Each structure stands twice: as structure tokens, then as C-alpha cells.
Copies of this chain bind each other. A is one copy, B any other.
Amino acid sequence: MTTGFTDPEQAEAAFYRAFAGLAIDGMEAVWSPRAAVVCIHPGGPVLEGRAAVLRSWADIFRSADAPGVACRTVSSSQGSDLAVHVVEEHIGPRGGNASAGAIVIATNVYRREAEGWRLVVHHASLPPQGQARPRRAEIVH
């Protein structure tokens, strides 16, 4: 059994660590086992439910080289039992300069459950090509 996370930031760090490490067990630990979770990959359809969401990450991980992921938090809304982070993900080759890679905009929703904070929604999309480079990303995995 996995334990939860003591705050949304810890859950988010674990999410991006799993992403960068192509670690499906890390993804399993981060996504809520209780809520009706939803995941939207860039340009993708709405995936509903834990099984469909985790399957999509397993598919991505099977076909990808481990990326470097750096994040900048655009906005953070902290509630007593829900938290929402809008994040700019900078995704590049591992060991390279992640800030020079692709940019994805993600809205991540965390929910406080009995075992701690878990991810319940990840909605990602691509900003326009050629968007001005944002400020330096802060969290690097």
C-alpha cells in the first residue's frame, strides 16, 4: 500500500518525478485511488477513471526516452481540501536544457484524502508556437 502526501506540493513533485523517470509505480502512487480522476494529455481526449488514466501513462512511458522536466508555477489556489496549480512544463531531453524544450501548460488538481493529498485532474495543452519564452522554470526533476 502506498502512503499519501502531506501537501499538494509534495504530490506535485512526485508526479513530475514519476513523469521524468517514466515510473508507472510513481504515477500509481500519485493519482487518487478514490476519486473519479480525469486526465487530458496535450491534444488528447478526456480520459476518465484510474484505469484509463494509468494505462495512458504506461503507453507514453513505453514509447518515450526519459525526459528532463522543469516546471514554473503560474498560479496556485490552495483550499482546505482541494488545491489547484497551473504549471508551465518545460520538457526536453534528459540532461539537456529543459527550458529550451517543448512547453506544455497543465492544470493540476489535488484532493486531500484519508491518506494524504492525491492528484485527481491533470489537464494539459500546448500553448501557441513561438510564444515568448516565459520566466525561468523553477523545479527541475
Contacts and interface: CB of A to CB of B under 8 A. Distances in A.
A48 B74 contact: yes
Contacts of A102: none
Interface size class of A (residues with CB under 8 A): 20 to 34
| Count of identical protomers in the assembly | 2
A79 B77 contact: no
A121 interface: yes
B40 A125 contact: yes
B80 A111 contact: no
Given A36-B75, A121-B75, A121-B107, A127 B44 contact: yes
Interface string A86-102: 10100000000000000
Contacts of A40: 86, 105, 107, 125, 127
